[in-house]
Structure 1
Amino acid sequence: MQTNNKTSDDAQRLSPSAYLAKALPIVQKANAISLRYFRKGFTQEEKGPGDVVTQADKEIERFLIEQLGVLFPGTGFLGEEYGAQGSQDLVWVMDPIDGTANFSRGLEFYCTSVALVEKGVPIVGMVINPVTGECFSAAKGCGANLNDMPIRVSDATLRKSMVVDGLGLSLPQQRERLARIGRIAAETWQVRILGAIALEMAYIAAGRLDIRACSNQKPWDVAAGAVLVQEAGGKATDFAGSDWRMGAEGIVASNGTAHDTLLGLIHRKE
C-alpha cells in the first residue's frame, strides 16, 4: 500500500483539537464498514493461536490509511494489520477492530481505535463502538468527551473500584496475569474480563470502570485510550509510573485515586 513519502516536517502542524476535529468524521465513516460486516457476515483467518483477523480489520485499516493520508500529508501510520508506514514522528496509530474475537462471535463489545502520536506521546484519541454509537474522543489539553458531552473518571476508592483485565493467549501470559489479577482483586470490589482494551480504557475515562493493567500491550491497543483516560482526569502510566508513551513497558490506566498503590500491587512478588 502506497503512502505519502513526505516527512512529517513537511506537514502543516495543527493543534491536537484541530487534528481531532478533522479526523473524527473519517473514523466515524470507518465504523460504518465494521457495522456492515458485523450485521451481514465476513470471512476470517487465524494469524496465530487464538488470534484472528477478519475482512473488516483489513478493509477498515486500508480505508483509514488512505483517507487520513489524503487529509494529513506527511503523517505516518502504524496499524495492527499493515504495520508501520511513512514518518513515525507524527503517526496515526490504529486498531481497526479492537476486540476482534468478540466481533467474530457476534459480541457487541468491540471498537475502532485511532490515536495521533507525536514523538512517542499520544495527543489525540478516538474510540468508537459502532453498535452502540458511542464515540469517545479526546485531544491533549482539551478534555475528553462521549458523543460531544464531557466525561470524567470516577472517584471510586481502591476498595470500591471495578477492575477489568484479560488472560492473554499463552500459558505463561495467563499465569502472570492471573497472579496480578489475584493481587489486585484482593484489594478491590469487582473484576471483569471484557475483551477489548481500547474500549475498556474508554470506559475508565467515562467512569464506568476504574482500573486496567496490561504487561504486553501493543501501541494500537492503548494509545487512544491513554489520551482518553488522562484527559478525563485519570492516569495512564507505564509500570514505572511515568506517563505512558510508545515503547513503554506495560500500561496501568486508572481513575488515579490509588495509582501508586496499584503499581505496588503489580510489582509485588508472591
Structure 2
Amino acid sequence: MDTTDTTTTFEVDPAAGLRVEHTTDRATITLARPDRLNCQSPVMWDELTRVRTQLPATVRVVVLRGEGRAFSAGLDRELVSPDHPQGLLRIPRLPREEATGLIEGWQRAFDWTSRPDLVSVAAVQGHAIGGGFQLALGADIRIVADDVQFCMAEPMLGIVPDLGGTKRLVDLIGYSRAAELCLTGRRVGAEEALRVGLASASVPVAELDAAVEQTVTALLAIGRDASAETKALLRAAASRTQDEQQAAEREAQYRRLRALAGLLGEDGPGGA
C-alpha cells in the first residue's frame, strides 16, 4: 500500500457494528463487535450493502475482516427472540412479497464478487459460523488463519442458509461436500478448507495480517482493466461451454490489445 495515501473513515450507522476505512485504491471493512464475536444484524447488512455501493470508484481491493478472535459467529441470537422488534420472527407475519423482499435486500450485503472492477479478500480467523461463513463465501479470495472454524449452522436452527451461501459453496467445493457440510453442521478447520478449495491460503494467526497485505499488494500491482477483464472471464466460466469461453476470451483480448495500442479508451468488460 502506498503509505502516502491518507486513510479516510467511511461513516456508518454506529448500530451496525462496522468500521470502514479506505485509501485511494483499497478499503478495509471490519466487523467490530468483538465482545459478541462480531455477530450480525439487519442493520449491519444494510450498512454493508450501502458501503459496497458507495465506496469511491478508485477503490480496487476490499478486505473483509473481523475484530478480535473471530471473523463472525453469525446471526445475533437476540434476533430470534419473539420479543425483538427487528427480530426474524416478525418475517412470517409479513406478506410473502414483503418478507422475501427483506431477505433479498439482506442478500446484497454478501455479494462482493459481482463487480469486475473490485476484488474482495476475506481475512478469516476463528469462528466463521452461519452468516459469518456466508460473508466469507461472498468474497473473491479467502485467506484463513490456522484456527478458523467454518460452519453452516442454519439448518441446525431450523432455518436455511439464505444469504447466497448455498450456490457459492456448491460452486467452490461441489454438491456432495456442500450437502454434507450444510446438512450435518460439521465444522471445517483450516487444513480441510485449504484442501477442498474453501481457502486460497492458510497461515498461523500471527501471520494473517501480513499474508493479506502481501495478497493486496499483488492484486494492486496488476493493471485495473486487465484485472477486471480477467475476473469477468473467470466469473462467467462455469456457465459457459469451452467454445463460448474461448470466444469471450478472444473478445476480451481484442479489447485489451486495442487499448494497449491506443486505439480505444480503457474500456472495461463489455466495452467496445
- What's the TM-score bracket when you normalise by the shorter of the two chains? under 0.3
Bigger relative contact order (CA 8 A; separation at least 6) = 1
Q: Which structure is higher in helix share?
A: 2
Larger Cα-atom Rg: 2
Normalised TM-score (structure 2): 0.27
Normalised TM-score (structure 1): 0.27
Q: Which structure is higher in strand share?
A: 1
